[in-house]
Amino acid sequence: MTRFSKLGQYGIFLAFALICLVLALSTPKFFTVSNLLIIGNQVSINALLAFGVTFVIITGGIDLSLGSMVAVTGVAAASFAHPDTYPLVVPLLVGLGAGSAMGAFNGLVITKSKVPPFIVTLGTMTIGRGLALILSKGRPVSNLSDSFNFIGGGSVAGIPFPIIILLIAFAVCSIVLNKTILGRYMYAVGGNEPAARASGIRVSRVKMWVYTICGLLSALGGILLTSRITTGQPNAGAGFELDAIAAAIIGGTSTSGGTGTMTGTFIGALLIGVISNSLDLLNVTSYYQQVVMGVIIIGAVVLDGVGKKD
């Protein structure tokens, strides 16, 4: 595993460590176990979506429908999660199934129609938003069972459950990307699609997988969110896609496809979470938070570009 692109990743890692150091020095409340767990908790949803979109971006695509998929899957799962109705697996399967189906739909349209992913997922973003409102009749779906609420609110041995889900998802996504043939094919398709096809790779199949996985991870994020706020909100997740894409880009995934790592994306998501957490701790208004975030996104890409020059 000697990837040259890892070099750029170290830069992000260093930047992240540096920012953490500065924050730890500026407020004693930052570097405490409880605060770190809170950051992990807050980061989990965005990180899950970012993992999904990293797969997509590596193949040279994009998915703007993440946020809407969060809403649809959240509402769908919540509808089956009222106390004393169905066992826990039912809302989970409904949510994950809905997400995978929406992702597969994205993949199907993109591979069959040759319409750019940007446009297709822009469409499904709006469709998804509408579906969430239709399913919920425009009202939040609340009164959820305790077992369902445990997913986003419970903890095991002092560690919040979302963090456990996040770490498992990270491990699985890393393995898929680095150790499986599918992962190798993702890099190939994004790096040079015609050459991948000429190498015997079924490009459409790879893309179908990628968008489906992205939908599945969005569903996981949707279920986590719903469970965390104990309601399925039809307007939840608006703008989540941009945060997820930002995390991937900060982590060194190139929007032109062919490069990117899960570790990078994970750090990107952590960076975003750490910054918004610490600016709250320091009582900085959210206006500045947005400016800071924008500067970091651009800075990350600029750094990445500089690092890649010969």
Partner 1 sequence: MVAAFLLASCNQSSEKKGGAEGGGNKLVIGATMLSMQNEFIVNVSDAMEAKAKEMGVELITVDAERSALKQVEQVESFIGQGVDAIIMNPCEVEASSPAIKLAMDAKIPIINVNSETSSKPTAFVGSDDTESARIAMKYIVEKLGGKGNVLMMHGFMGQAAQIRRDNGAKEILKANPGIKLLAEQTGEWDRAKGMSLTENWIQSYGDKINAIFAQNDEMGMGAVKALEAAGLKGKVLVVSVDAIPDALQAVKKGTLDATVFQNAKEQGGKAIETAVKAARKEAFEKEVLIPFQLVTKGNVERF
Partner 2 sequence: MSDYILRVKEISKSFSGVQALDNIHFDLKKGEVHALMGENGAGKSTFMKILIGLVSPDSGEVLLEGENLVGSNVHQTLKKGISMIHQEILIIPELTVAQNIFLGREREVSGKSGMLSGWLNDAGINQRAATLLDRMGVSIAPKTKMRHLSVAQMQMVEIAKAISNNAKVIIMDEPTSAISDKEVATLFQIIRDLQAQGVSIIYISHKMDEIFRISDTITVLRDGKYMGTRAARDLDHNALIAMMVGREIDQMFPEATRPVGQEILSVHNLGKAGKFSNISFNVKSGEILGLAGLMGAGRTEIARAIFGLDGWDEGEISIKKAPLRARTPREAIERGVGYVSEDRKGLGFIPRMSVKDNITLSSINSHRKGGFIDTHSEQSAAEKMIADLKIKTAGAGQHVTYLSGGNQQKVVIGKVLLASPEIIILDEPTRGVDVGAKFEIYKLIRSLADQGMAIIMISSELPEILGLSDRILVLSKGKQTALLSKAEATQELIMRHAVA
User: Which residues of the chain form contacts with partner 1 (CB under 8 A)?
Assistant: 27, 29, 32, 34-35, 38, 41-42, 122-123, 125-126, 129, 133, 138-140, 142-143, 153, 225, 228-231, 233-236, 276-277, 280-281, 283, 285-287
Residue 142: strand, helix, or coil = coil
Q: Alpha-carbon distance 167 to 164, whole Å?
A: 5
Instruction: Indicate which of partner 1, partner 2, none lies near residue 158 (CB less than 5 to 8 Å, by partner kind).
Output: none
Report what 129 binds from partner 2, partner 1, none; CB cut-off 5-8 Å by kind: partner 1
Q: For residue 160, what are the β-bridge partners?
A: 155
The answer to whether the beta carbons of residues 144 and 226 sit under 8 Å apart is yes
Closest distance to partner 2 from the beta carbon of 262 (Å): 16
Partners of residue 232 on adjacent β-strands: 141
> Least CB distance from residue 22 to partner 1, whole Å?
17
Among partner 1, partner 2, none, the one that 188 touches (CB under a kind-dependent 5 to 8 A) is: partner 2
In the complex, least distance from residue 198 CB atom to partner 2, rounded to whole angstroms: 5
d(Cα 35, Cα 38) in Å, to the nearest integer?
5
Contact residues for partner 2 (CB under 8 A)? 1-5, 175, 179-182, 184, 187-188, 191-192, 194-202, 258-259, 310
Least Å distance, CB 145 to partner 1, is 15
User: Binds 253, which of partner 1, partner 2, none (CB < 5 to 8 A, cut-off by type)?
Assistant: none
Residue 100 CB contacts under 8 Å (≥ 6 apart), including other chains: 212, 215, 216, 219
First-last CA distance in the chain? 22
Torsion of CA 150, 154, 159, 163, to 10 degrees: 50
Output 136 or 259, the one with its CB closest to partner 2: 259
CB nearer to partner 2: pick between 169 and 296:
169
- Alpha-carbon gap, residue 102 to 66, rounded angstroms: 10
In whole angstroms, the minimum distance from the beta carbon of 110 to partner 2 comes to 19
Nearest residue (CB) to partner 1, 87 versus 130: 130
Which residues neighbour 132 within 8 Å (Cβ) at sequence distance 6 or greater? 68, 71, 72, 74, 75, 234, 235, 236
Instruction: State the nearest-atom distance from the C-beta of 122 to partner 1, in Å.
Output: 6
